Structures are given as C-alpha cells and as structure tokens.
Amino acid sequence: MKNFLPFVGLLLIALPGWTQRDCRSLDYRQQQLSGNPTLAASVEAIEQFTRLQLRKASVIVNGQGGKESAPSRITIPVVVHIIYNSPSQNISDEQVLSQLQVLNADYGKTNADTAAIPGYYASLAADCGFSFVLATVDTGGHTTTGIIRKHTNATSFTIDDDVKFGSRGGDDAWDRDRYLNLWVCNLSGSVLGYSSLVGGPRETDGVVIKYTAFGTKGTAQPPYNLGRTATHEVGHWMNLIHIWGDASCGDDEVGDTPQQQEATYGNPNGVVLSCGNMQYGNLYMDYMDFTDDIGMHLFTGGQRDRMRTLFAPGGFRHALLSSPAAAAVTGPVVVSGGNTISMTVTEVRPNPAIGMVSVVVQDRAVVGSLMEIYNQVGLRVMAVRVTDLSTPVNLSALSGGVYFIRIGGGPGFKLVKM
C-alpha cells in the first residue's frame, strides 16, 4: 500500500461529467489547506491512527479488539436537515425512512441485490456492523423525530457548505460527537452529494445529498433512485476512499479491493479489466465506485475494517458510541415550552421480550390513549389502545430488534424484541 493522504477535502459523486469537476475538487482541497494549515496534519494523524489499528487488527467490537465474521452493531443516530426552496424539495417522512432502510440494508449486508454480485467476488461482501436510526433526542435534550425542515430563499446550493449554516440559508449542524448530520437540498448542476472531511471542522461535519438522489420514494429519480448516493457518501464520512484511489490505478488504502484505473459509470456487467487486475477485473459493484444505483451491491471486509477503526478508542468518531441521541428517554424530560413531564411508560415486562409483554403506565389519565410502537428508523409498526395501568401487547408479529413505545405522542420507552 502507498502512503496516500486520502481525499483532503470534499468528495463528490456525480454524473459522467465528473472528470471536469475533479479539478474543482482539487481546487477546493487546495483552498481548504491554504486556509487551515493544520488540516493536513490532522487528516494525516487520523490516517496514521487507522493504519496502526489495522496493523494491530483491533477493529472495535463491543469495546474489545479483534476482527469478527459477524460484527456487532454500532448504532449511529441520524438527523436529517431538509432544506427546501420549493414544495417539491420538501421531501416526505416516508422518503427519509426509505433512505434509512437502504443505509441499514447496505451496511448490514441485508440488501436483496447481493444476489447480483458475481460469484467470484461474492466472498468479499461484508456486514459492516452499522445501524442507522433517526435521533430521538435533540441537542437540548428534547424529544425529536430526527427530521428538521427549513425553508430557504436559496434556489440551490454548491459544495461551499452554505447549506450547513442557518445564517447562509441552510441549517446548523448538530454535534458530530452525537449525530450523523444529513442535509437534503437542491444541489446545483449534476452533483449528487458530498461528504465532509474526516478531521475537518465540527460545524461542517456530515453529508449533503441532492433531493432527487435521496431514498427510494418521492422525488428520487433514476438512475440514482435506490438510495446509494447516501450509502456512498456516508462511506466517505467514515473515511473510505473511492475504489480507484482518486488516481489512475491509485490506492484506496484497502487490501482486498483490486486496483482500478478510473471511475465506473452506468451499469456494467461481466469482467472489466484494468491496471493488470487479472483475473476478475474491476470491483465496479462496490458502493465506493460511481456505478448507477442499480449496479452497487457491496462493501468489502477491508472497507468494513477501515471504517470501524474510526470508532476504536482514540478514533475520530469514537464519541458516537456513547451518544444518547438514539436511546429512548428514560426520565423526566423538558418539552418545547419548558414544561417538565414524567415518563408515560414506566415499565415493559418482560424486556427483552419474545411474545406477550405488559406495558405499565403510571397515570390512569392515559387509559384509552393510543399506544404506538416504532422501529429503529421511525416507522410505526403497531398501534393499540391503553386499556389499564397494565396493558398486554402481543409482539409475536414483529421481527427481532429494537423498538420504541410512545403513548399520546409522549417520550419513548425502549423495547427489545428477541
């Protein structure tokens, strides 16, 4: 592997005109470096830390070292900033949820199109061990849906980060140590999205996606309508480099990805050779290429390991492991307006659960209210009426995972279904 200083600046994914815009990316990198002489040193320090972690084979798993075949989950709380100028840009909650579902499938290797990976590369596909959930608690400790909507007078944004600042027509970032910020807006030209630099400023940390390339519903337009733009850009947010190493036959700092001469466009098939990568050729179905959404199918084990080093003790994103933003509220909370309320749900028995549970409330005034159960991406999966201070609920129809129970729109209570 070469000593390659990875993507010191914002990384773009785009239509086939990308080669021309690569010069813009280089100009932007040079501008960032000249304006912040310590940035290059910070990025290189993170890269050295990554190499050290990989040499020690200390990919983080529940706070313990060692690689794993089935990684434990790292839960990343997400806040989605929808910045819209026209009604069509104000995408629906359903479209947001569809993007979260894609991220969870792609980073968990549960995407159905793994079946399209050629047999000779199938063994490279990896469960990266990440789960993405909409934040349930905002920066002030208040309950939130994790979706922020803000009208802007700007008709479009560029890669100058204006969308990340309320004073410039966008919306301010939430604390990167507790959240992954996703901004959805109208990006100018053919730019589909870009990611902040790992090691860059706190106030610009996150990913920006064009509203026509976000999720699988609503405004998402082919060939970028399967949510893979966000999959790609979140990969950059977790320190992955383009599959071709951002140079002709370059180095992406990952050992199990074959060298590749340049970006791939469209939806190729068969063996495409370059850079002497005999016998199976380019890994164009990797999420870090520029293939159309329909042709992207995998991260490799090496890419998984590189991403997870950021979450090792001392890693750039280690603080996210202790973020409270994805947990259910467990005590009195301050709601908008400053009033303090107590938890509506005081207990769920048993928890974790297999089938029947009893949901215990402390106030008879909520009897008759609607009890709603949401999954990790904020989709309501069940609703029943509260019948007494202890209400039986049958969870048999739900798949295993983490859920949140809310009554009358109040704070959530965490429930684990086995």
Closest by Cα among 75, 176, 64, 177 to 130: 75
In terms of domains, do 157 and 187 share one?
A: yes
SS (H, E, C) 256-289: CCCCCCCCCCCCCCCCCCCCCCCCCCCCCCECCC
Answer yes or no: do 103 and 60 share one domain.
yes
Are residue 304 and residue 374 in the same domain, yes or no? no
The confidence score (pLDDT) of residue 10 equals 43
Give CA–CA dist 41/287, Å, rounded: 28
Q: Under a CB-based contact definition with an 8 Å cutoff, are residues 180 and 237 in contact? A: yes
* Torsions phi, psi for 56 (to 5 deg): -85, -5
CA angle 91, 97, 99 (to 5 degrees): 85
Residues 361, 253 within the same domain: no
pLDDT at 98: 93
CATH of the domain at 238: 3.40.390.10
Asked whether 19 and 279 are in contact (CB, 8 A), the reply is: no
DSSP 143: B
- The pLDDT value recorded for residue 31 is 63
In a domain, 253, yes or no: yes
Domain closes at, from 322, 357, 380? 322
The pLDDT profile of the chain, 418 residues, written as one tens digit per residue, is: 334 344 443 444 443 333 322 323 333 455 666 777 788 899 899 999 999 999 886 544 444 444 443 337 898 999 999 999 999 999 999 999 999 999 999 999 999 999 999 999 999 999 999 999 898 888 988 878 899 999 999 999 998 999 999 999 999 999 999 999 999 999 998 889 888 889 889 999 999 999 999 999 999 999 999 999 999 999 999 999 999 998 999 999 999 999 999 999 999 999 999 999 988 999 999 999 999 999 999 999 999 999 999 999 999 999 999 888 865 433 333 222 333 333 467 778 887 788 888 888 877 777 777 788 888 777 778 878 888 888 888 988 888 888 888 886 656 777 878 7
In a domain, 300, yes or no: yes
CA–CA–CA angle 135, 140, 141 (5° rounding):
60
How many distinct structural domains can be found in the chain?
2
Domain boundary among 322, 346, 375: 322
Report if residue 396 sits inside a domain.
yes
348 and 398 in a single domain? The answer is yes
Please tell me the total number of residues recorded for the chain in this structure: 418
pLDDT value at position 410?
59
**The domain containing residue 382 runs over which residues?**
333-417
| Shared-domain flag, residues 51 and 145 | yes
Please calculate the CA angle 83-88-90 and round it to the nearest 5 degrees.
Answer: 35
301/375 same-domain check: no
Q: Report the interhelical angle of 18-35 vs 39-55 (nearest 10°).
A: 110
Res 411: pLDDT: 60
Residues 237 and 385 in one domain: no
Say yes or no: 245 and 111 in one domain.
Answer: yes
Residue 233 annotated among the catalytic residues of the structure: yes
C-alpha closest to that of 147 among 103, 217, 97, 210 = 97
For 305-356, the DSSP string reads: HHHHGGGSTT-TTGGGGG-STTSPP-S-EEPTTS-EE--SEEEEESSSBSSE
CATH number at residue 377: 2.60.40.3580
- Identify the active-site residue in 233, 262, 347, 372: 233
163 shares its domain with 41: yes
Regarding whether 275 and 231 lie in a shared domain, the answer is yes
405 and 275 part of one domain: no
The DSSP bridge pattern shows strands 130-134 and 180-185 to be: unpaired
Identify whether 6 is part of a domain. Answer: no
